[in-house]
Structure 1
Amino acid sequence: MKFSKGSKLTAALAGLALMTGLAMAQQPAFFRIGTGGTAGTYYPVGGLIANAISANGDKGVPGLVATAVASNGSVANVNAIQSGSLESGFSQSDVAYWAYTGTGLYEGKPKVEDLRIIATLYPETIHLVAAKSANIKSVKDLKGKRVALDEPGSGTLVDARIVLAAYGLTEKDITPEYLKPGPAGDRLRDGALDAFFFVGGYPTGAISELASSSGIELVPITGPEVDQLLAKYQFFAKDKVPADTYKGVGATETISVNAQWLTSTKQPDQLVYDIVKVLWNDASRASLDAGHAKGKLITLPNATKGLGIPLHPGAERFYKEAGVLK
């Protein structure tokens, strides 16, 4: 059978289109995860997750190349997701809530209404650290005391104000100082401060050193005031610092915000579904358990706790199928 020049050209173009389509289908999908500083917890955990979900033989999401990107943390990651310069990122759940609702740190700024959650990862505990000599047994006992609330612009400062308000206190009822936990710990050791707030995973080095050198009290954040606070602010959750996490300190009831993995409604539902499905498989579980101390706390039952803002539809679909979400 003979073919005309036109037929040959048509066949060649069809073949070229097919090859181009196959090449495009085989192009990898890139999915960046904004984390934090390289010396913190977000960065190594982000690396573990990126490795787990990236395509690797028969493991991971087919065609996906995920990378952990160092950043300035929660606010920077939310802003990068909003601008499209990152596909996803880690954030404290309170920062995510403020961004979504235009409150707290985002007061007066446009709401980031397309922000969505892939998973809650692990708790970041609210520590209320007090000097042993200060006789502070409850949040109410802070009245009249010298208390560091962290620097303006920090998430800790906003959280500290919420906790104080739950117990009927404001900054007018204390002598407030606006110091980071390091300098606050030095002042507490020197007797120039009675207590300070810190939000972060336990144990944290600065508090461990303070407990060993000077002795501290961890003040419980509990009671009916907390029940009302949790009902009002869904990004908080109950938490407990186990006994002897810090030298000489017994088990202490408190609350926490969560480290969360966020994305945007711009990300395809099927892609996020596939990512979440791989995140919670046995291979990823083994990697998280072995890779970092916080990895053991990243569990499927905790993935939908303390959300504060909506789940991404792809993630929500998986959690419903897995039975952890109604």
Structure 2
Amino acid sequence: MPILLPRRSLLAASLAVPAIRTAAAQTTLEWVAGSLGGGWYTMAAGLASLIREENPDLQVRVVPGGGLANPTRIQNGQSQMGWGIDAFTASAFKGEEPYTAAHSRLRSLGTGYSPTDHYLLGPKDGPTGMREILTTRGLKLGTPQRSSTDEMSAQRILRFLGTSPDQIRSGGGRYLNGSYNDIAAAFNDGQVDYIYICLARPAAILTEIAQGRRSAKLIAFPDDVRAHMKGTYAYAEASVPVAAYPSLLTAPIMVTAMDSVVLAAENVPEAAVYAMTKTFIKNKGQRLATIHASMEAYDPASSARYSGCPLHPGAARAYREAGVLPA
């Protein structure tokens, strides 16, 4: 039979025991980014460093990944967080093409971290119309690796215009897949005449091509192509000013665009996501721009409105405290 002590005795005993302070457990998360040396990898590494500076008990390890595969990696528990693309994250969450099952475990820390333009680049003395270019027999087109967001976007436009990689090849043309460096070299060497890429501004590959031996220009995206990509797949659009690429443009052009989303699995601790999101909000503007110029565009008010997948509760809490999300 247990011995019952008077409440006063219990209180005295508790006061007599010295307080024991337990060390806070360190949380380590894996962030799946983009290819080594690419913009996403650089940005994730910079954010991981910033997170560690302000939250010593929170460690983020960055690993290579890719826009299409990252949501599935997070859904399956291989990585706890990572980069996603707004339009493709929405497709993943709903289980729509190119995904075959709903990625219900995806949560976000918002969007707007790195606006990404789509570019079609070709020879300076070539045609100026996207439809004419992409449907011409004998087209030689280079895109990044198959199933990248760049290549999937290019295929969606080709399908809208009534063609495909197979039709390009069967018509005597070439549809080349490779790294950014590979397709840039292929353009400079004349192995392809056009390349389709999706990169945050300023895109190093375009700057390098502009300084290369083959004169080039950027091609505008027609109204109907942009409308199709927005209405069917939830892409955005953007105006690229001449100042961004003065050697490749003589006037601003409209292009299809997309944006980067920070994703986290639903089971990542709320406290960790809250700390990370709060760090991003605090350092918006010049501090984030020092990591990558495109990150200066991050705006908590618009970031919190992303609806492609639900906000993680920790991110929602941080945005509410910042006054950009209703209580």
- Within 5 Å, which residues of 2 pair with 1:111-260? 111-120=102-111, 121-144=113-136, 145-171=139-165, 174=168, 175-180=173-178, 181-212=180-211, 213-234=213-234, 236-246=235-245, 247-250=247-250, 251-260=252-261
> Once the 2 structures are TM-superposed, how far is the Cα of residue 80 of structure 1 from its aligned partner?
4.0
Q: Secondary structure in 2 aligned to 1:134? A: coil
> Once the 2 structures are TM-superposed, how far is the Cα of residue 125 of structure 1 from its aligned partner?
1.7
Could you tell me which residue of structure 2 aligns to residue 39 of structure 1?
Answer: 37
**TM-score, normalised with respect to structure 1:** 0.77
Matched AA of 1:287: R
Count residues in correspondence: 311
Q: Secondary structure in 2 aligned to 1:214? A: coil
Matched AA of 1:232: T
Task: Note if contact 1:117-1:307 (Cα within 8 Å) is conserved in structure 2.
Answer: no
Task: Note if contact 1:288-1:296 (Cα within 8 Å) is conserved in structure 2.
Answer: yes
Could you tell me which residue of structure 1 aligns to residue 94 of structure 2?
Answer: 101
In structure 1, what is the Cα distance between the partners aligned to 2:189 and 2:286? Answer: 45
* Structure 2: runs of 5+ lacking an equivalent: none
Could you tell me which residue of structure 2 aligns to residue 65 of structure 1?
Answer: 58
In structure 1, what is the Cα distance between the partners aligned to 2:46 and 2:204? Answer: 23
Matched AA of 1:161: Q
Task: Note if contact 2:201-2:294 (Cα within 8 Å) is conserved in structure 1.
Answer: no
Task: Note if contact 1:166-1:226 (Cα within 8 Å) is conserved in structure 2.
Answer: no
In structure 2, what is the Cα distance between the partners aligned to 1:160 and 1:259? Answer: 18
> Once the 2 structures are TM-superposed, how far is the Cα of residue 197 of structure 1 from its aligned partner?
0.7
Going from structure 1 to structure 2, the CA distance change for 1:259 and 1:90 (only over 3 Å counts) comes to same
> Once the 2 structures are TM-superposed, how far is the Cα of residue 233 of structure 1 from its aligned partner?
1.5
- Within 5 Å, which residues of 2 pair with 1:244-283? 244-246=243-245, 247-250=247-250, 251-269=252-270, 271-281=272-282, 283=283
Bigger fraction of residues in helix? 1
Superposition RMSD in Å: 3.7
- CA deviation digits over 1:66-121, x for unaligned, max 9? 32423234455434423434321123334434433334443x4x432211211221
In structure 1, what is the Cα distance between the partners aligned to 2:306 and 2:44? Answer: 20
Q: Bigger CA drift: 207-216 or 188-197?
A: 188-197
> Once the 2 structures are TM-superposed, how far is the Cα of residue 178 of structure 1 from its aligned partner?
2.8
Could you tell me which residue of structure 1 aligns to residue 83 of structure 2?
Answer: 90
Q: Secondary structure in 2 aligned to 1:84? A: coil
* Structure 1: runs of 5+ lacking an equivalent: none
Q: Secondary structure in 2 aligned to 1:295? A: helix
Task: Note if contact 1:216-1:249 (Cα within 8 Å) is conserved in structure 2.
Answer: no
Matched AA of 2:129: K
> Once the 2 structures are TM-superposed, how far is the Cα of residue 129 of structure 1 from its aligned partner?
0.9
Going from structure 1 to structure 2, the CA distance change for 1:86 and 1:15 (only over 3 Å counts) comes to farther
**TM-score, normalised with respect to structure 2:** 0.77
Task: Note if contact 1:48-1:287 (Cα within 8 Å) is conserved in structure 2.
Answer: no
Task: Note if contact 2:48-2:62 (Cα within 8 Å) is conserved in structure 1.
Answer: no
